Each structure stands twice: as C-alpha cells, then as structure tokens.
A and B are shown apart, each in its own frame.
Chain A
Amino acid sequence: MSTGTLDRVVVVGNGIAGLTAADTLREAGFDGELTVVGDEPHPAYSRPALSKALLLDGDDLTSHELPPTGHGATELLGVRATGLDLDRRLVTLDDGTDLPYDRVVLATGSRARRLSDLPEELTLRGLDDALALRERLVDRPSVVVVGGGPLGMEIASGCLTAGCRVTLVSQGAPLILQLGPHLAGVFVRAGLERGLTVVETELARLERRGESTRVVLHEGPVLEADLLVSAVGDLPNTEWLADTGLAAKGAIAVDPRGLVRPDVAAVGDLAAVRTPNGPRRVPFWSSAIEQAKVAARALVRGDEAPPLRFQPYFWTEQFGRTLKAVGHLPLDGEPEYVDGKPGGGPALMRWPQENGTGAAAALDYRIPVPRLRRMTQDA
C-alpha cells in the first residue's frame, strides 16, 4: 500500500518512546521535517529514575536527566495535542495550530490513575510529581501509600529511607500480581524488616473528613497520615484520539511493527502490542524503546522493516534490594537456581515455561541483560 511522500513526520509525545522514535527516524534515513510535541515543559527524562534514585539521592537532582537530543527536530514543548484527523493528516494542538504530517507517531504515554479528585492525593508519574514528593519528604511526614505494585513499593521504600513512618495499603499481598509469589515474598520481607507496615485490603477509597483526608478500607479501618500517595496503575492518554476510533478500549492496538496503519505508529505506554498472552500494554522503559525503534523503521521502510521481537526487561530497587527480570511476568511457582540458593539471598534464577518462553531474574546480582536473556533461551 502506498503512503505517498515522506517529507513531514510529527511525533506526539516527548517521553522515551517519542524521543527514541525521533532518533530512529533519523537513523533510518528520514531527513525531512521532524516535529516533536510534548505536553511537559521539560526535555525528555528517565521515568524509572523518578521513583528510585531521584527520591533517594541526597542533593543529586540529575539522576533522571538524559543525554541531549541529536535528532534536530522542531520541539514544541508545553503544548498538548487535542485531536488527530486521519483523512486530512493533521495533528491539532491546544494552541489552535494544525500540524500537517505524512507520517505520525502516537506516543502520549499514560497518566496516573487516581482514587479521588482530592488535591491531597499525590501521585508519582512525571518529573514535577517526583520533585513535589521529594520536597514534602523533607519534614519526615507520616505516609500512607495506596497501591502494592512495584511503583507503590518503590515510593514506600523511598519514604522510609527519607525517615518517614510508612504504611502501604495493598489489594491483596503486595507485588503478587506483578512479580509472582516468590519474588513478591522477597521484597515484602525486605520492606517489613525495614519497618514498613503493610495493610491488605479488598478495596480502599479516599475521603475528606473536616480538614483531613483519610484512607477508608472496605473492611472498616480508617488510616490517616500527613501524606497520602496513591500508585494504583496508569491510564493511557488517548482521549485526544477519541474521534479516530483507534483507541476503542483505551489503548491503541498495533501490528507487529507498531503500526496502526501505514502512516500511523503508536509506541510506548499507550500501545497494546502483541504478546504471548494476547494484545497487552507493556508499560516499561525498555519496552517503550524497543517499540519505538521498530515502529519508526516501519514508518520509513514499510514491510521491509523487522517486526518486534519482544522480551520485556523489568527492574526494581526497593528496601535495599535490586531485581532484574527478563521475560513476561508474573513468575509462578519456585525458581530453578542457576547461582545462589533458596532463602531469598542474592541469586540468579530462572523459571522455565512450557511454551519455551522462559523467564530469568537476578536478585542483588550484577549481570548484564544480554546474559540474563540467554539464560531464558537455555531454560
């Protein structure tokens, strides 16, 4: 299918997905007019660092900074896209501008899901959120974190390290859904040893009572703290695409090359890519990068470009422990030990799977990702 001339590409979104797409378009030979639109005023930054090093590092406020860009795009920062016209090939911005394109990359990411509209409910998604949270931690407030996923646990860990008393509210045991029981147990134990209080609930909601805001658990108990942070998942930023019909279920389903149609790519946290478990959003750092590389090449070269070969990489640092994992999570059952032994100490582990797509994890164990990947292939 011919998609006509290729003089102008618009990348909507300036996170790591949009940035990698812009870089890769250049590498693939696109030398035309490139425009990157980002709704944050900041240059692109490392989002994983926000809930890790940036919360923990004393005076170092640079752990999230990325190398300067080299793609030479016109960058429109602090501007939001409000609409996409697929027939006329126009991106509409909130300042009223229409940007014409020959190809467009949709990379507007996702935002924190919230439990309320109360301003006391903090979330951690962007750089401004992280800086605001850091500032609040200086006074060592008591903290309730609602959300037992990796982000909630990382935030709880950062708050504990800052000297706060921290209660983590989790729907079921923390990290079970994301990591599986073995690894979840390791990190929950590490949190408890450092003084974390974990409260399991079926459902939590936030409410304001007089001057204070509190967490009300389905089972009855009420939790109060100086600081309330929620980390209960993310929602794709696809409202601006409502008229296109591309985001019928919230996320944007893409083909194995990250394309929605030959002139439209969708990459990063808003894209549902094909996985062994069906179309899924895989909102991780290295996932966004891989998706963006594949899709940008496909926009330039079409079907000649290779499809996505996908094996997610996930890492976390919390409560003094680090995990690197390759493969699709969660990991059910007990691992095989390649190095180390059972008991939760430093170890190199793998979880063979029947369909041949094994997973491997390194706990407090320095190992390059390529080696970890090879372990999954041997499994």
Chain B
Amino acid sequence: MKIVLDRPRCEGHGLCEEAAPQLMHLDDEGELVLDREEVEGADIALANAAARVCPVAALRVA
C-alpha cells in the first residue's frame, strides 16, 4: 500500500504525525514529510489512522 499526500490540501495541523510518527512528520516550516510512502503489515493500520484523523482529508492510503 502507498500513502498519497494531496499537498495543496494539507493545512499542517499535524494530527497525522501524532497518529503515525513512524511514517510522517511536519518539518520546521510545517510542511508534511512522508518518511515512508510504501507501507505494509501493521503499518497499514497506522497509515490509515493518520489518513482518518486529517480534518481536510489530505492523506489517502491506496
């Protein structure tokens, strides 16, 4: 599975980082960085949790 970021939508809340700090973080400018894009196994649930928490639906796991 792959994490897909719709960057124009991202408002930098960072709730995704709280849900899945192993997979993504916001840099010093508040831009979201995907540390891993390809996920498998238990990380898929983490990626889904990150996508779910985003209030502007900027993340998808496909």
Residues of A within 8 A of B (CB): 19-20, 23, 27, 46, 48-49, 53, 62-67, 70, 285-286, 289, 313, 315, 322, 324, 366-371
Contacts and interface: CB of A to CB of B under 8 A. Distances in A.
Nearest to A285: B55
B13 A49 contact: no
Contacts of B57: 46, 49, 62-67
Is the contact region of chain B dominated by helix, strand, or loop, or is it mixed?
A: mixed
Given A286-B53, A368-B25, A368-B30, A67 B59 contact: yes
B15 A313 contact: yes
Given A23-B49, A27-B45, A368 B56 contact: no
Interface in B1-39: 9, 11-15, 17-18, 21, 25-26, 29-30
A369 B15 contact: yes
Interface of B: 9, 11-15, 17-18, 21, 25-26, 29-30, 45, 48-49, 51-53, 55-57, 59-61
Contact of A367 (B12, B48, B61): B12
Contacts of B55: 46, 48-49, 285-286, 315
Contacts of B49: 23, 27
B30 A367 contact: yes
B18 to A, nearest CB: 6
A366 B28 CA distance: 9
Nearest to A24: B49
B56 A53 contact: yes
Contact of B12 (A49, A285, A286, A368): A368
Contact of B51 (A62, A67, A315): A67
Contacts of A324: 13
Contacts of A67: 48, 51-52, 57, 59-61
A70 B50 CA distance: 13
A324 B11 CA distance: 11
Contacts of B25: 368
A13 B57 CA distance: 20
Given A49-B55, A370-B17, 7 more contacts: A20-B52, A53-B56, A285-B55, A286-B55, A368-B12, A368-B30, A369-B13
Contact of A286 (B15, B26, B30, B56): B15
B42 to A, nearest CB: 9
B56 A369 contact: no
A23 B19 CA distance: 13
A70 B12 CA distance: 25
Contact of B53 (A27, A63, A289): A289
